[in-house]
């Protein structure tokens, strides 16, 4: 992970804005700038970046982990077990000491992430937001990031396809999830030994549950004729891709087939609109027009897609009111859908990379209805 280039860009921004030091609280931003990816509970972890050093404040139980994975100049440890009277027992004391030592007058913060208690501590220091600058940095992925996202997409596809083709009536939503999970983990163990893999999956089924866009899988048993929306995100070394398919068990009603084809066409139009310079609103409108003309506009109750990277959802957001222009290196989901109460929902999601000349679809599970009746 090329954190040196990222640190250099942040320091240039700090110099331009007369910022003496910056602190990072967001765990994903910390990973982006240091390579250290922690399991976060109640113990704060803080990264301090100046023009000369990158310093990390961690609880004792993360000390060895930070040394092993972090590209950091100094690690400062606080303790919550008996180790004597000459050590720090909480992170704010360390942070305040470092701010004094570095003579910080102006401090960069992620304004939408910093806890209120932290902000109160800095009452005598000028605060400047660096959060938006970091968000903009993360919008466009470099070659290493894109490579990880493409590998994550391959794993997500494996899970989606294995779950779909092994679905049978009487199986529960949770069992559908488990089939794909096993396939993903077995593949990852073979292809990427020693790499961190994270999974998210949901498989709402039936007319009531597929009409709700976001619900966790439960122990509902699949019935013949059911709609299932099987959705997966997989992260490899923190970088995420998304693959999702709507499919049918045993048979498909004609009304479902007609609705499915509307969804397919909306997604196709949205994908075809993706290229550098196109506004996010134009991608959303391309999908929305198809669904509205088919008479289902009031049931399309979310944006057409969102960015993917270190976060499950991040910018750019493909909303009707976003004037942000797509750039090469952005990674987005394309997932227009509509959800009719007591009838069902219909949504595919694919991960798409914006390229110099257009787009590259990196999730490849079949989209057509003939492939998705099992």
Residue 123 confidence (pLDDT):
77
Residue 116 confidence (pLDDT):
79
Q: Is 7 strand, coil or helix?
A: helix
Q: Cα(102)–Cα(12) distance, rounded to whole angstroms?
A: 18
What angle do the packed helices 173-191 and 143-165 form, to 10 degrees? 140
Query: What would the pLDDT profile of 323-356 be if each residue is shown by its tens digit?
Result: 999 999 999 999 999 999 999 999 999 999 999 9
From 18, 43, 22, 16, select the one nearest 34 (Cα to Cα): 22
Query: What would the pLDDT profile of 250-294 be if each residue is shown by its tens digit?
Result: 999 999 999 999 999 999 999 999 999 999 999 999 999 999 999
Confidence of residue 1 (pLDDT cuts 50, 70, 90): confident
CA dist list (Å): 46 to 26, 57, 101, 224, 263? 9, 5, 16, 52, 44
Q: Cα(197)–Cα(49) distance, rounded to whole angstroms?
A: 28
From 275, 282, 283, 267, select the one nearest 358 (Cα to Cα): 275
Contacts of 97 (CB under 8 A, 6+ apart): none
Contacts of 293 (CB under 8 A, 6+ apart): none
Q: Cα(334)–Cα(172) distance, rounded to whole angstroms?
A: 27
pTM score, whole prediction:
0.96
Residue 213 confidence (pLDDT):
96
Residue 127 confidence (pLDDT):
94
Q: Could you tell me how far CA 339 lies from the centroid of its own chain?
A: 23
CB 363 within 8 A of CB 232: no
CB 162 within 8 A of CB 365: no
Residue 148 has pLDDT above 80, yes or no: yes
Query: What would the pLDDT profile of 76-125 be if each residue is shown by its tens digit?
Result: 999 988 876 667 778 888 999 999 999 999 999 999 888 877 777 787 89
Residue 41 confidence (pLDDT):
82
Structure tokens that stand for 43 in this block: 């113990």
The CATH number of the domain covering residues in 3-138: 3.40.350.10
Which of 34-48, 53-67, 116-130 shows the lowest per-residue confidence on average (mean pLDDT)? 116-130
For the chain, percent helix, then strand, then coil, each to nearest 5? 40, 25, 35
The CATH T-level fold of domain 140-372 is Creatine Amidinohydrolase (3.90.230)
**Span 205-212, average pLDDT:** 98
Q: Could you tell me how far CA 10 lies from the centroid of its own chain?
A: 22
Please tell me the total number of residues recorded for the chain in this structure: 374
CB 227 within 8 A of CB 256: yes
Q: Could you tell me how far CA 238 lies from the centroid of its own chain?
A: 9
Confidence of residue 187 (pLDDT cuts 50, 70, 90): very high
pLDDT > 90 in the chain, percent: 90
Domain ranges of the chain: 3-138, 140-372
**Span 154-168, average pLDDT:** 98
Same fold, 3-138 and 140-372: no
Contacts of 285 (CB under 8 A, 6+ apart): 320
């Amino acid at each position: 992970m090329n954190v040196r280039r990222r640190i250099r860009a942040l320091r240039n921004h700090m110099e331009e804005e007369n910022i003496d030091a910056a602190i990072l609280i967001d765990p994903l931003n910390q990973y982006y700038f240091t390579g250290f990816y922690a399991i976060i509970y109640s113990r704060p972890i803080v990264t301090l970046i100046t023009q000369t050093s990158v310093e990390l404040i961690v609880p004792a139980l993360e000390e060895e982990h930070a040394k092993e994975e972090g590209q950091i100049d100094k690690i400062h440890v606080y303790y919550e077990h008996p180790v004597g009277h000459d050590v720090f027992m909480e992170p704010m004391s360390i942070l305040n000491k470092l701010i004094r030592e570095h003579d910080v007058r102006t401090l960069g913060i992620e304004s939408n992430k910093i806890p209120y208690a932290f902000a109160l501590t800095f009452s005598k220091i000028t605060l400047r937001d660096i959060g938006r600058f970091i968000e903009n940095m993360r919008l466009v992925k470099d070659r290493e990031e894109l490579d990880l996202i493409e590998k994550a997409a391959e794993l997500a596809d494996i899970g989606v396809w294995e779950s779909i083709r092994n679905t049978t009536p009487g199986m529960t939503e949770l069992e559908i999830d488990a089939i794909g999970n096993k396939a993903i983990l077995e593949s990852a163990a073979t292809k990427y030994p020693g790499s961190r893999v994270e999974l998210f999956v949901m498989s709402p089924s039936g007319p009531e549950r597929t009409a709700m866009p976001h619900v966790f899988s439960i122990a509902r048993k699949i019935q013949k004729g059911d709609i299932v929306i099987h959705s997966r995100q997989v992260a490899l070394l923190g970088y995420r891709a998304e693959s999702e398919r709507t499919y049918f068990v045993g048979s498909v009603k004609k009304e479902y087939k007609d609705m499915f084809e509307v969804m397919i066409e909306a997604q196709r139009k949205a994908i075809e609109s993706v290229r550098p310079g196109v506004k996010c609103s134009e991608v959303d409108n391309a999908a929305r027009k198809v669904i509205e003309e088919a008479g289902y506009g009031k049931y399309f109750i979310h944006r057409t897609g969102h960015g993917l990277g270190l976060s499950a959802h991040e910018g750019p957001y493909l909303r009707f009111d976003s004037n942000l222009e797509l750039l090469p290196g952005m990674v987005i989901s394309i997932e227009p859908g509509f959800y009719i109460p007591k009838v069902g929902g219909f949504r595919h999601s694919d991960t798409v990379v914006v390229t110099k000349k257009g787009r590259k679809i990196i999730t490849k599970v079949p989209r057509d209805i003939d492939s998705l009746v099992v």
